[in-house]
Structure 1
């Protein structure tokens, strides 16, 4: 473990180079992460009991969870006509999670929805482990521990326990970025391709690998594997998008499918208008909160740049943030769409690592409590569409 933690005012002493020491044990970080998840679930189930609701249904069979199950049950042939006449297709949902749900259901008594919850639970732990490895490789064990804790205690962290694809995608992305740091190009390419089969933002993982490979080209001793990783990285996302294009009879068929759902990339115009409408209405406080959240995201990204995060992390995180904030889809989904952008949390992890233990652990406990209460409140209300 390094004896010096990077200052919040400047880059770390090792720049973006991986540490040469053996990796730290993730046991403490994973135990802390599981404890935070247990608290969130306990509050959710208690809230549901008091509200006479089924907490497990909230985790397994609402919103996107239902659409993944429809892919398992109907293949990519299910459509739903919205009240305004739009035809919503399940081809908007990438296939890796429903494939895993179908496979697990085939070999266990679990139904697809139950399998989705189990996959998400396991994937969330794998994601926490991967985040720990990524941060420890550059900033050390203590910073990695607190970064994992913050990721597990995000206000919308209850999504990590739902039959959604965020946990699976973050796990694949984090481990792909770690293998990039270790210059294991072939494995990184495979993981990036799987991330691309999970969510369209998987191309952010491929882009991160490409940038790292370009920077490592001159010093690489195994350029064949490097090239293989570069070629493999985008195949998952590109392959699915092209398949949808073939099914719809249009090269840009996937964009048409997303457009029917109201999703598209407009550079953030719709989101800015949404914030502005709140700022100049009785919902001024909500608009101010949204504006503050966007500023915070931007500030954290700039801190990451100034602290010398590896280029692969900056590229990955930047693309995830841009796609989340600059899309025209349902604005309530943006917090969960930002969840895979875990490098944003590294400056906070570093700050807690440099803080007195009592203060740092008080912050973690407070964040976990807020996540538990807000997660239960959120799922019993509008939820994370």
Structure 2
């Protein structure tokens, strides 16, 4: 039986200790991706999209060039590589498997050739997420829409995939595109999401410490010293890692600012402030010593050996970061922005 994981309660009700945080509380929906076989009618990561047959599939028109040191791979080869790793877990590779893996990724020869791969013409985009409002309470769709679809180009633009968002009414899709086009290549393995079903769970979050006043930050730091000592953690990071916002794939809530400082993000069309819509994550677990955000029951290993932490989607942003998608508060269909943190 598939039991919905539950995020453990926070070890401390931080808003009770610091009432200044209470008005800043936001709900977020953790998506909890799990390996599965989603259909058009399911909320999913990397699954098939309920895409109208008469509507053109999105393509990226920008240039696509990669270096010869880390050549791009076809989606078919990446899926085959994953199946081989999964099937051989706990045993030695067969000669046939080794031969196939060497064909997909030939051994590097030296000196390394710096030739580049250039892909001419539009590149078909890949499904990243399909989210039905019925499953994800923190989605705020435009009027008359109940489905969000996220796609991306599987190449860096310039340091992460470029995304597209589509809001639609599921009931209006009567003829579904059953075989969408695929790109000829994917720049990095982590840009090809593994199909996952979702087990959404709504939680409460608080802002990253960088979004708080200096006075409150200092109070939190001093208060965190004994709390962090009990967990053998750095008091400077205890609040962010354990009490503020959850790691992993989620909708809504607060963004994490691990590699950049917060900055105001006005809409390019109307100037209205933007707010986080969704987080595309490399890892589902956090950085705290006990992985206190890990859901129970713990879901176990990823789709194939080699991932650090739990990563059913196979997605990797940079060297282990998050991609935050921000949308206009006044009009969700205005152009969105992407930030890596």
Structure with the largest fraction of helix: 1
Global fold match (TM > 0.5)? no
> Scaled by the length of structure 2, what TM-score is found?
0.27
Structure with the largest fraction of strand: 2
> Scaled by the length of structure 1, what TM-score is found?
0.25
